[in-house]
Amino acid sequence: MIPLIDVKGITKIYNGGEIATKALSDVSFEIEKGEFVAIVGPSGSGKSTLMHILGCLDIPTSGTYIINGRNVENMNDDELANIRNKEIGFVFQAYNLLSRTTSIKNVCLPMIYAGIPKTERYERAKNLLISVGLGNKLFNSPNQLSGGEKQRVAIARSMATEPSIILADEPTGNLASKQSMEIMDIFDELNIKGNTIILITHEENIAKRAKRIISIMDGKIVNDTGRLN
């Protein structure tokens, strides 16, 4: 079975004038379709760099990244953008919602870029918002929502184009404990339905909600509960 994500020997070096910083060093792992994986590590460990590479927001200095059978190594900007739009649903700590736009229109946005017809966009967005418990907040703008509700909108938006992967970067970082657990409950439900979830976090209690934990330190994988390194 071909893995959904195949990372082989990835190294990332940032050149800043005379000083080169190695953010990732020879990182390798596979993620199968339907897994729920947490990538954990302290600030400066390299987990954010790895997230950017997994999300096709950046490319490695060396090594190979294959997503859903496609090697991103030689892709141009348009091809990378297409992967981001169709294969990956993003959930960010800061929500990244359009502030003057309703919940339903925020969820519709990625579908516009994907060329999905308007009638289908609105129906799908409505159903997604209902699925995350916001059927009564379809026409509220972000400033009328709590932090937990904003993140629910962001999760609904992440699923709008039916991506292969939901990539969540510190999705509970701005939330109180109760709201955090409610958001993790939603990720659990999505995973049970077959969605592949990759969660970037520094919070141990959040990471434990995943079924597999990849620990990163100083740019290297130091433990993988799916595989021992």
The string of pLDDT tens digits covering residues 72-83 is 888 888 899 888
CATH number of the domain at 96, please: 3.40.50.300
Q: Work out the angle at residue 108's Cα, subtended by the Cα atoms of residues 107 and 114, and round it to the nearest 5 degrees.
A: 120
Decide if 62 is inside a domain. Answer: no
Q: Are 169 and 8 in contact (CB under 8 A)?
A: no
In a domain, 24, yes or no: no
With respect to residue 134, please indicate whether it lies within any of the assigned structural domains. yes
pLDDT of residue 114: 85
Reported as a pLDDT band with limits 50, 70 and 90, residue 225 is confident
Instruction: Report whether pLDDT(9) > 80.
Output: yes
Flag whether 15 is in a domain.
no
> pLDDT (tens digit, 9 = 90+) per residue, 135-156?
999 999 999 999 999 999 999 9
Confidence (pLDDT) at 215? 95
Number of domains in the chain: 1
Judge whether 95 lies within some domain.
yes
What range does the domain containing 166 cover?
A: 32-52+87-224
In a domain, 68, yes or no: no
**37 inside domain:** yes
Query: How far is Cα of residue 9 from the mean position of the Cα atoms in its chain?
Result: 21
Average of per-residue pLDDT across 57-61 = 91
Position 8 scores a pLDDT of 96
Residue 186 within a domain = yes
Question: In whole angstroms, what is the distance from residue 2 CA to residue 10 CA?
Answer: 19
Per-residue tokens: 6: 């195949």
pLDDT of 228 over the 50 cut: no
Both tokens of 223, joined, read 């433990």
Tell me the whole-structure pTM to 2 decimals. 0.91
E strands within the chain? Answer: 5-16, 19-31, 36-40, 62-67, 70-71, 88-92, 165-169, 196-201, 212-217, 220-224
State pLDDT tens for residues 85-137.
888 999 998 889 999 999 999 999 999 888 899 889 999 999 999 999 999 99
